[in-house]
Amino acid sequence: MAGIYIHIPFCRSRCHYCDFYKTLDTGLAENFIESLLLETETQKNYLDNEFVETIYFGGGTPSVLGHKQIRKIMKKIYDSFDISKEAEITFEINPDDAGSFYLNGLAREGINRLSIGVQSWDDNILKFLNRRHTSEQAARSISDARKSGFNNISIDLIYGIPDLSEKVWQSTLENTLKKDVEHISAYHLTIEQNTRFGNMKEQGRLQEVNEDISEKQFKKLVNILVNKGYLHYEISNFSKEGLFSKHNANYWKQVKYLGLGPSAHSYNGYSRQWNIADTEKYQTSINSGIIPFDSEEINEKTKYNEYIMTSLRTMWGIDLEYIEEIFNKEIHDFIVNNATRFINYGMLEKKDKKYLVLTNQGMMISDNIIRELIMP
């Protein structure tokens, strides 16, 4: 079982919060596709012939691509790897790119899951974030996606934004429920360096929201979505029964994946590697036969720490039997000892005698708990 991630590094403008790798030079797209196809061909043995169960087009903005370009990429991937007939194939779209014509085409090219960057249902907040779309466009993108036959739709939301009032957050969540989407990712705003918000913070023109507000908004998020029947399966992710993101869940389960495109990461069980985050250098290098990446070997400690950091954030939690089997008794005892006081404080609970899972209270301080459970 394996996954493929394709990074489409183009955006039409920069959102004030975002530090994902991207270029605004969409004119590079046509040549970029040719390099991407070359990289795919070169990397066709990376997954050791494992069956590919998930494909994910992320960015940047995959929806800057035209149908023909997507068809070329899909064909190359299907020619190079064993793709499961039931593969989950996700495509991130920005609401301002999504019209019926475009969405019909995506469905025809084999995309069966959409992740739509709604972010907010409030036009003032959208402007504050420097999004290109309006809430009306976002609503239309969902209804058009339904008409095109998509029955697995995820939307992204952001909270913890300065100026996001309780009232607006409440109505954002209520509006989200009305859309009845299968999956919701809701991220607390992180103010990243070298973004517009990062610069504003440095100049004292923007302040992060305080912990009380963050906590209140997180609680509201969880209460409203869980009451409506969504499964809170990862700190930032909610889904209808059985419709969690298989692609992301596989990252958390340490399944192998191949990342294609600039800045994309890959993992094969022994090492992690990441491509250069520069589209022009990526193309020049690939075209001369060299994939431009850095890598690190994954030793036992790193593998353990990554497992803790990802699995504890999920509703499945940390599997203590897996720890003993994959690592050793010493590591097993280390985590059991360190987890005890969090269990006593009601921050962690033990399920089925072998899983360590965060309680709702524990989720508020998950970073602190993780810090105590990883190996120094």
Ligand X SMILES: C[S@@+](CC[C@H](N)C(=O)[O-])C[C@H]1O[C@@H](n2cnc3c(N)ncnc32)[C@H](O)[C@@H]1O
Stretch that binds ligand X, among 184-192, 261-269, 303-311, 353-361 (CB under 6 A): 184-192
With CB under 5 to 8 Å by kind, the binding choice for 74 among ligand X, ligand SF4, none is none
Q: Which is nearer to ligand X, 156 or 215 (CB)?
A: 156
At which residue do the structure tokens 């960015």 appear? 59
Binding mask 6-25 for ligand SF4 (x = CB under 6 A): -----x--xx--x-x-x---
Contact 235/59 with Cβ under 8 angstroms?
no
Closer residue to ligand X (CB): 202 or 372: 202
Q: How far apart are CA 60 and CA 12, in angstroms?
A: 9
Shortest distance in whole angstroms from residue 96 CB to ligand X = 10
Report how far residue 330's alpha carbon sits from residue 104's, in angstroms, rounded to the nearest whole number.
54
Contacts by residues 31-38 (CB-CB < 8 Å, ≥ 24 positions apart): 31/283, 32/261, 32/279, 32/282, 32/283, 33/65, 33/69, 33/72, 33/73, 34/287, 35/282, 35/283, 35/286, 35/287, 36/6, 36/73, 36/76, 36/260, 36/261, 37/72, 37/73, 37/76, 38/286, 38/287
> Of 96-104, 182-190, 258-266, 294-302, which part binds ligand X (CB under 6 A)?
182-190
Shortest spacing between CB 18 and ligand SF4, in angstroms: 3
Read off the tokens for 202.
């440095």
Rounded Cα distance, 5 and 252, in Å: 14
Nearest CB to ligand X, comparing residues 33 and 98: 98
Q: How many residues bind ligand X (CB under 6 A)?
A: 15
- 262 is a site residue for ligand SF4 (CB under 6 A): no
Count interface residues toward ligand SF4 (CB under 6 A).
Answer: 11
**Cβ-based nearer residue to ligand X, 153 or 347:** 153
How many angstroms separate the most distant Cα atoms in the chain?
A: 58
Residue among 60 and 317 whose Cβ is closer to ligand X? 60
Q: How far apart are CA 91 and CA 6, in angstroms?
A: 10
Cα→Cα distances 339→12, 285, 318, 327, 342, Å: 46, 47, 11, 17, 5
In the block, residue with structure tokens 């929201």: 209
* Partner from ligand SF4, ligand X, none contacting 192, C-beta within 5 to 8 A by type: ligand X
Binding to ligand X, residues 103-122 (CB under 6 A): 117, 119
What does each C-alpha distance from 343 to 60, 177, 181, 195 come to in angstroms? 40, 33, 34, 39
234 sits near ligand X (criterion: CB under 6 A) = no
| CB of residue 148 to ligand SF4, shortest distance in Å | 21
Strand partners, 264: none
158 contact, one of ligand SF4, ligand X, none, CB 5-8 Å limit per kind? ligand X
Candidate list 69, 90, 94, 245; residue touching ligand SF4; CB under 6 A: 94
Cβ-based nearer residue to ligand X, 158 or 235: 158
Helix (H, G, I), strand (E, B), or coil: what is residue 110?
coil
Which residue's CB is nearer to ligand X, number 8 or number 323?
8
Residue placing its CB nearer to ligand X in the complex, 14 or 75: 14
CA angle 259, 191, 129 (to 5 degrees): 90
Binding residues for ligand X, rule: CB under 6 A, are 17-18, 20, 59, 61, 92, 94, 117, 119, 156, 158, 187, 189-190, 192
Binding residues for ligand SF4, rule: CB under 6 A, are 11, 14-15, 18, 20, 22, 59-61, 94, 117
